[in-house]
């Protein structure tokens, strides 16, 4: 009998692991247990589905269940929820198919993901208060804004406590948390003709980061705030939500310490919390972040049990400590590594440096590494920071626009610590050069000497990243 690899969770990390294990060891039995209906989907596309740019929710599926079963030979069991893990016995308890059963494993991967955090404020359970981390939540939000937009004839309504009959016309919406998903959904709400309020307890957007993601830097924050106001978005900064006010079970206002903001719907983006309860109940060690602690290969404190994706910690290359970064690439990469390891080829999950890219209306906003001075000092660095304003194309080539780059380096050795970029074009992919430099421990002087490509339609002869590196290197003397 072949060894059995059981995967709990059917999205990025879980299915990457399952597919890799089957490819590397075709004789291995691979069972994926997913408590919901959806598997293998692109959650990062939900804001564009809510906006209407992505017509159908099914368009966000990466791989169909039929392909997972037919091509890869995975035993995929949807609507099967793992309720307990027994590492000593090497088995899990499952509720599914109308029964409860136990399933033995030789190797187990916990890829249970994360959920949207909510403020510790009364009224969070009112109708019209949403977090968006799953396809069901995205469909429920779209349906709430425009009845009928989230459903199609012949397609069953997915089971979710946030999918309900519309309670009134939505004209104003509040985004609580000026973070990545929240600000991407601002554009979606604006496109639907809604009045949009952004409520955040920081003095600026991105100031704290949403529990887990690094701040983009003050330069980016200022430009994003200016663009939001230009588009008519009302910013309520330095404002902590005290409670959500409701009538007849539906939200009608957001109340802060200073004001009462009438709204018809609320989107909360206070960050992502790991779904680590299953691991904790099995006595598996959690890290300081609250996510599941793992080693370089994704192994947990329990024998033959791995964790990957948004439920697990990652190792930050620059900070040299565990962090909780719920990002898509890290989840896919971590799952793939675990799949290779259980199939017989030990593979490191790999470190992260916190590379994040987002879109706010027509702005590209990107960062990698550490820009926050306090965080850098806590990690033992003495940061030196420069902000440069340059152009996205050669000055004589039409269509160019401004790019602002904020970059930090260590004062003692010049090691690159991080950079943030914001502009209307040319930021989203340039940040990958910064990530590469961080992973390879380059100094800003070494970064400034790299041989980047040049062509007038795509950038000036001195690329914005090189220009910023030169500026910081000059400050270091």
One-character DSSP codes across 354-415: --EEEEETTEEEEEEE---HHHHHHTT--EEEEEEEEESS-TTSTT--EEEEEEEEETTT-B
One-character DSSP codes across 196-233: EEEE-SSSSTTSS-SSSSPP--HHHHHHHHHHHHHTTP
Number of separate helices (H) and strands (E) present in the chain: 12, 25
- Alpha carbon of residue 315 to chain centroid: 16
How do strand 29-34 and strand 4-8 relate by DSSP bridges? parallel
Mapped onto helix, strand or coil, the DSSP state of residue 79 is: coil
Q: If you ran DSSP here, which 8-state letter would residue 248 be given?
A: T
List b or e across 400-421, with b for residues whose CB sees 16 or more CB atoms inside 10 angstroms.
beebbbbbbbbeeebbbbbbbb
> What's the start-to-end Cα distance of the chain, in Å?
66
Out of 44, 311, 367, 427, the active site residue is 44
State the Rg of the chain over Cα: 23
Mapped onto helix, strand or coil, the DSSP state of residue 60 is: helix
Q: If you ran DSSP here, which 8-state letter would residue 285 be given?
A: P
Structure tokens at 349: 């999950």
Does the annotation mark 44 as catalytic? yes
Angle between helices 180-191 and 218-230 (to 10 degrees): 10
Q: If you ran DSSP here, which 8-state letter would residue 134 be given?
A: S
Backbone angles phi, psi at 225, to 5 degrees: -60, -40
Q: Are 32 and 77 in contact (CB under 8 A)?
A: yes
Residue that the structure tokens 């010049």 belong to: 414
In this structure, the chain runs to a length of: 477
Q: Which of 84, 108, 106, 110 is nearest to 11 (CA)?
A: 110
Provide the annotated active-site residues.
44
């Amino acid at each position: 009998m072949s060894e059995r690899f059981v995967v709990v969770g059917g999205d990025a990390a879980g299915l990457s692991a399952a597919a890799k294990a089957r490819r590397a060891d075709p004789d291995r039995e691979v069972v994926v247990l997913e408590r919901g209906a959806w598997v293998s989907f692109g959650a990062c596309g939900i804001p564009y589905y809510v906006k209407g740019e992505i017509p159908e929710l099914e368009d966000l599926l990466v791989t169909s269940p039929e392909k997972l079963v037919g091509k890869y030979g995975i035993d995929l069991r949807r609507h099967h929820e793992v309720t307990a893990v027994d590492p000593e016995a090497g088995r899990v308890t499952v509720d599914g198919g109308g029964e409860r059963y136990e399933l033995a494993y030789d190797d187990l991967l916990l890829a249970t993901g994360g959920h949207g955090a909510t403020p510790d404020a009364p009224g969070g359970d009112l109708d019209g208060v949403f977090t968006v981390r799953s396809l069901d939540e995205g469909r429920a939000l779209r349906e709430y804004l425009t009845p009928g937009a989230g459903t199609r004839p012949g397609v069953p309504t997915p089971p979710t406590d946030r999918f309900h009959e519309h309670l009134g016309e939505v004209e104003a919406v509040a985004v609580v948390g000026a973070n990545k998903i929240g600000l991407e959904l601002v554009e979606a709400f604006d496109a639907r003709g809604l009045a949009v309020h952004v409520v955040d307890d920081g003095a600026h957007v991105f100031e704290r980061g949403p529990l887990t993601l690094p701040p983009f830097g003050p330069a980016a924050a200022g430009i994003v705030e200016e663009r939001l106001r230009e588009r008519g978005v009302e910013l309520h900064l330095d404002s902590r939500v005290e409670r959500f006010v409701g009538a007849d079970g539906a939200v009608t206002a957001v109340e802060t310490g200073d004001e009462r903001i009438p709204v018809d719907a609320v989107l909360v983006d206070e960050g992502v919390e790991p779904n680590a309860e299953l691991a904790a109940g099995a006595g598996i060690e959690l890290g300081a972040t609250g996510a599941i602690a793992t080693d370089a290969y994704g192994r947990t404190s329990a024998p033959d049990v791995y964790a990957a994706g948004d439920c697990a910690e990652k190792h930050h290359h620059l900070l040299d400590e565990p962090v909780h970064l719920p990002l898509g690439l890290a989840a896919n990469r971590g799952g793939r590594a675990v799949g290779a390891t259980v199939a017989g080829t030990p593979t490191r999950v790999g470190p992260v440096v916190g590379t994040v890219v987002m879109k706010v209306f027509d702005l590209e906003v990107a960062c990698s590494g550490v820009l926050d001075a306090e965080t850098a000092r806590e990690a033992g660095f003495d940061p030196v920071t420069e902000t440069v304003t340059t152009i996205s194309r050669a000055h004589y080539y039409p269509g160019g626009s401004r790019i602002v780059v904020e970059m930090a380096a260590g004062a003692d050795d010049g090691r690159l610590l991080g950079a943030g970029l914001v502009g209307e074009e040319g930021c989203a992919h340039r940040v990958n050069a910064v990530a590469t430099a961080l992973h390879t421990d380059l100094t800003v002087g070494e970064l400034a000497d790299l041989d980047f490509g040049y062509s007038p339609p795509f950038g000036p002869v001195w690329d914005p990243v090189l220009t910023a590196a030169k500026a910081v290197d000059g400050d270091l003397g």
